Structure 1
Amino acid sequence: MLVPMVVSVRFFILCSFFSFIISSSIAHTSFRPKALVLPLTKDVSSSIPQYITKINQRTPLVPVKLTVDLGGGYLWVNCEDGYTSSTSKPARCGSAQCSLFGLYGCSGDKVCGRSATNTITGLSTYGDIHGDIVSVQSTNGNNPGRVVSVPNFLFICGSNSLQNGLASGVKGIAGLGKTKVSLPSQFSSAFSFKRKFAICLSSSTSTNGVIFFGDGPYNLNMDVSKVLTFTPLITNHVNTVSGFLGEPSVEYFIGVKSIRVSGKKVPLNNTLLSINQNGIGGTKISTVNPYTVLETTIYKAVADAFVKAVGAQTVAPVAPFGTCFATKDIGFSRMGPGVPSIDLVLQNKEVVWNIIGANSMVQLNDVICLGFVDAGSNPSTSKVGFVMGGLHPMTSITIGAHQLENNFLQFDLAASRLGFRSLFLEHTNCANFNFTSSA
């Protein structure tokens, strides 16, 4: 009878031990946020404008500045430049952590890794996959709340060479794309909130835009979630960075059916608006391309229609733009330069993305230019991507960051749809989130 009693006592002690561990874990994570928030700053210190956020990472916690890439697949951080942390753990080959990255390599010490890409310069290098603590602020949609942590947030170790070309002080790139290891996916998985995130770029370098992870409300002097228009997100079955067939793109594509200028349909080769079997064509959204990039025939048709609708003489263009006017010939209003709207007609005539003057034009002292760039006639091989930020523009239309500023974009990953709204229409802007903490 003694053996069963010993086993029983040991079993009781073991159960008590695990009960203690579980209860301690529950106590530690009893607060489960419904959403998280990060500030987003426009930085023009480098040759290409970048949108910067900041997380706290490592033990002890260190603030880390990151360039935000809406279509990036993962977080990478420079591990060569003084990365020290007592909680950093390499991901072992064959582990569940490695499999989340899809294709990966395996080093001699059995640590998995894969290529990390600087999508500003186009440079890629191989790096080990690690996990470490990441700490961010929660939110109720009105202002920041309690700080919460993810203990084993996965990222790729970058290098000094990979960091070249990023804005001053930036140590890596935060990818928000459609993968299991992007920031939205890891945060929603860690806290079991809805697979949604929203991004709002400020047009000013002195005020912060905002990224929300999770559902609304999103209070920018009003709950923006109440006024969004929705359109489906489309999958491109070819990776637009690597060009590999069978490996889907992690970027965000939408279905543009036609383009209107001043209410009139622009004549286009409509086959360019669809994604072909090689992954070329269609429309995607980018935060690393500073301006919208158009396949050359689309650019020329839109530019010609725009010049005709403006009714003013063009002047010598200023690179990288090809269509410019004298500033004195263009009026201004609360909505920006007084020029005709450029409308992206989406799944039907009622669902339209209106690009108003504040987003369509770029002012350069006494010259003001249409903020769209000609990608050339062969988007799959054009080098404009490396000049303008981003990679090879296999895509016919890449909606760039200038056209996104003060537009609120919600990406609903579960429903595969995009919600969008120009905040000019709501008499507010992306800088109106209250970053004063309530905690």
Structure 2
Amino acid sequence: MEKCLLLCLLLFTASSYVSAQYYSPNTLASRVTKNPILPIFTFTLNTNEEFFIHIAGPYLVRSCNDGLPRPTVPCGSATCALTRRFNPHQCPPTQNTFINRRCACQATAFEPFQRRCNSNQYTYGDFSMSSLNPRSPSVTFKNVNYLCIPQPFLRDFPPGVLGLAGLAPTALSTWNQLTRPRLGLEKKFALCLPSDENPSNQGAIFFGGGPYKLRNVDARSMLSYTRLIKNPRRLNNYFLRLKGISVNGYFLRLAQNAFDFDGKGDGGVTLSTVTPFTTLRSDIYKVFIEAFSKATSDIPRVNSTTPLEFCLKSTNHFQVPSIDLKFADGKIWKVSAANSMKKVSDDVACLAFLNGGDAAAQAVVIGMHQMENTLVEFDVGRSAFGFSCSLGLVNASCGDFQTRL
């Protein structure tokens, strides 16, 4: 952790001042807010419409309850064919319908909290987003494809949240439609999720490339990169090639193929903005919890707090064992104490990792808590995933990013 802190401090204090003129003409940005009702993060489109950030969602979904007619996407179009390719694997095949005697494309969305599937009209319209270009503070995108979903599909979403912004590595995802080559945008997006410890409850999302101005520093200099890999059975997810997990510098003794895909496409290591805490398949979790328990044997245990199972009595001098995720290319994601533990009261902190069970679909799902107060970049064009150290190590937070002129 000391090396990570030193590196972050060196990069953060380096002379990498970012002026307004340096911004790409089309760097899109928005504040990210953690919703107090549902464990979701949202950002703004169309000036005042909040959309739930779902990095495994295949496309943009918007609530449509006004009864107004909308343009149809023909059933035989290439766009409609793409909706079939990226149909959520949890849902049955989608059936088209007829509108004014013409075959109109239907698509299906999966609501991850109540685990509901709902099909409705696939359509298109105009969407706008803030830009960091002084000459064009807002950019409007014409003919953005989206799934028009009525209530009750989104009935459990908090007031003001009008839809779901799917950010999966798919042709119809939100980032892919907002990063059009003719506008000079790169095929990437970056995300900084705010933590509960951040009083402003603000984070940031960027589309189309950086720089990402954190105070007067371009935070791209703080990123380490590893490869994004594909799973042909799970096209809507981002996967990382993890090699090992260490606790206090000691790597867990796991099966050689513990993080690999199996013949059905299960397994692997992915990321989620739906899963609150990192979830480990049982065979991995049991070895992990044993190592963590051994490393904290001198700290008093306290009763568990659902859903967290392993809780400790915390004090002013509370020392948390280090947790490292080591990728196949040697890059290491150091999980800070703020991201490995969840403080549930003044004197209780719980390990923010869960047992996913023997039949978990993935070996590891890196959850929201582990990504909070950390800049992550999905460079889909280069198949690369960038991650910073915890911004708390440099006395900064996600709320310090510039998202407005």
TM over 0.5: yes
Name the counterpart of 2:194: 202
Structure 1 range deviating more: 32-41 or 172-181: 32-41
Secondary structure of 2:207's counterpart equals: strand
The one of 112, 118, 134 aligned to 1:119: 112
CA distance in 2, matches of 1:168, 1:300: 40
Percent identity over the alignment? 31
Name the counterpart of 1:431: 399
Aligned residues: 364
CA distance in 2, matches of 1:83, 1:415: 41
| 1:79–1:106 Cα change, 3 Å | same
CA distance in 2, matches of 1:90, 1:348: 46
The superposition leaves residues 100-129 of structure 1 with CA deviations (integer Å, 9 ceiling, x where unpaired) of: 424464212211011111123211111110
Q: How does 1:311-350 map to 2 (within 5 A)?
A: 311-328=298-315, 331=317, 338-349=319-330
2:226–2:329 contact (8 Å) kept in structure 1 = no
Q: How does 1:11-410 map to 2 (within 5 A)?
A: 33-46=25-38, 49-56=39-46, 63-80=48-65, 82=66, 84=68, 88-103=70-85, 105-109=95-99, 110-140=103-133, 146-189=137-180, 191-203=183-195, 204=198, 206-221=200-215, 222-239=217-234, 249-310=235-296, 311-328=298-315, 331=317, 338-349=319-330, 351-365=331-345, 366-379=347-360, 394-410=361-377
CA positional deviation for 1:144: 10
CA distance in 2, matches of 1:312, 1:162: 46
CA positional deviation for 1:209: 0.7
CA positional deviation for 1:234: 1.0
* RMSD of Structure 2 on Structure 1 (CA): 2.1
Secondary structure of 2:127's counterpart equals: strand
CA positional deviation for 1:155: 0.4
1:138–1:144 contact (8 Å) kept in structure 2 = no
| 1:41–1:83 Cα change, 3 Å | farther
1:282–1:396 contact (8 Å) kept in structure 2 = yes
CA distance in 2, matches of 1:144, 1:431: 24
Secondary structure of 2:400's counterpart equals: coil
In structure 1, what residue type is equivalent to 2:228? L
Secondary structure of 1:419's counterpart equals: strand
The superposition leaves residues 144-200 of structure 1 with CA deviations (integer Å, 9 ceiling, x where unpaired) of: 951110111110011212103323331221111111111111111263411111111
CA distance in 2, matches of 1:95, 1:188: 22
| 1:137–1:187 Cα change, 3 Å | same
1:287–1:400 contact (8 Å) kept in structure 2 = yes
CA positional deviation for 1:407: 1.0
CA distance in 1, matches of 2:349, 2:159: 28
Length-normalised TM-score, structure 2: 0.85
| 1:83–1:395 Cα change, 3 Å | farther
CA positional deviation for 1:84: 4.8
CA positional deviation for 1:341: 1.5
1:44–1:205 contact (8 Å) kept in structure 2 = no
CA positional deviation for 1:34: 2.9
CA positional deviation for 1:83: 6.2
CA distance in 2, matches of 1:90, 1:331: 61
CA distance in 2, matches of 1:272, 1:184: 32
2:233–2:265 contact (8 Å) kept in structure 1 = yes
1:292–1:372 contact (8 Å) kept in structure 2 = yes
1:307–1:314 contact (8 Å) kept in structure 2 = no
In structure 1, what residue type is equivalent to 2:28? L
Secondary structure of 2:118's counterpart equals: strand
Question: Larger C-alpha radius of gyration, 1 or 2?
Answer: 1
Where in structure 1 do 4 or more consecutive aligned residues deviate above 6 Å?
Answer: none
CA positional deviation for 1:339: 0.6
Length-normalised TM-score, structure 1: 0.78
The superposition leaves residues 380-407 of structure 1 with CA deviations (integer Å, 9 ceiling, x where unpaired) of: xxxxxxxxxxxxxx10100000000011
In structure 1, what residue type is equivalent to 2:54? D
